[in-house]
Amino acid sequence: MTPVEAANRLFNRVMTAVAAGDSTEAQQFMPMAIGAYERARPLDHDGLFHLSMLQRTAMQLEAALGTAEEILEDNPNHLLGLSAAAKAAVELGLGDIAAAYYEHVLEVYESQIEQDIPEYMDHAPITDSLKTEAEAFLGGR
């Protein structure tokens, strides 16, 4: 098993625990999952997205935003990077920054979603609802 595969297994375990409301298991495996991704660097966009999600779930919000921005440094139109950055910015109380990310989502959504990007398919519940999420956030400002 590669370091990324090990990190992905821990990610899935933590996110399954979070979804099931099992905070004990999530808290137990969260540091291991974050550490596994840090050790597996350099990460692809999917790995960085996973790490950002874990950091946000662990309330490491500045780190989550920084990790999401690593994706955007490589591909400023990456939907999962934009999603992770916007959500971290919202939780940090940085509404203007979140709005800028969500506005960019709306600008690039159609062209990005048409591309055959594996992590978009792997995280379809997120990418499928992202446009609506962006519109709702911006409409509520």
> Does residue 5 form part of some domain?
no
> Does residue 1 form part of some domain?
no
User: What pTM was estimated for this model as a whole?
Assistant: 0.97
Tens-level pLDDT at each residue, the chain (141 residues):
999 999 999 999 999 999 999 999 999 999 999 999 999 999 999 999 999 999 999 999 999 999 999 999 999 999 999 999 999 999 999 999 999 999 999 999 999 999 999 999 999 999 999 999 999 999 998
Q: Report the domain count for the chain.
A: 1
> Does residue 22 form part of some domain?
no
> Does residue 56 form part of some domain?
no
Task: Measure the CA–CA gap between 80 and 84, rounded to whole angstroms.
Answer: 6
Task: Measure the CA–CA gap between 82 and 42, rounded to whole angstroms.
Answer: 20
Residue whose tokens read 């955007």: 72
Instruction: Give the domain extent around 96.
Output: 64-139
Task: Measure the CA–CA gap between 72 and 55, rounded to whole angstroms.
Answer: 17
